[in-house]
Amino acid sequence: MPRYVAGRRLTLLTRPDCHLCDEAAAALTKIGAVFDEVEVDGEAELLARYGDRIPVILAEGVEIASAPIDPSSLPGILASL
């Protein structure tokens, strides 16, 4: 089921054993954002597009933040959606 914040579907692009990804997920959860997580290593197109710029946060497929993600900036970014 799609998950939304501010009427937009959020996706967090991650990879296994990525501490920055874990921090981004924790920051999103802390502010009450609900999101889907997708591992880029399992998606050739995403891996080619984002490579090592993980984590990346997408809203409706549009990049809104990428590594390094400042947790204090997330409320403002999400409020502007």
The torsion defined by the Cα of 21, 25, 31 and 32, in degrees rounded to 10, comes to 160
Whether the pLDDT of residue 1 is over 50: the answer is: no
Q: How far apart are CA 23 and CA 19, in angstroms?
A: 6
Q: What is the pLDDT of residue 67?
A: 94
Whether the pLDDT of residue 46 is over 60: the answer is: yes
Tell me the average pLDDT of the chain: 89
Whether the pLDDT of residue 8 is over 90: the answer is: no
- Sequence-distant (6+) residues with CB within 8 A of 1 are none
1 lies in a domain?
A: no
Work out how many domains the chain is built from and give that number.
1
Domain hosting 64: range is 16-79
pLDDT band at 7 (very low <50, low <70, confident <90, very high): low
Question: Which pTM value belongs to this model?
Answer: 0.89
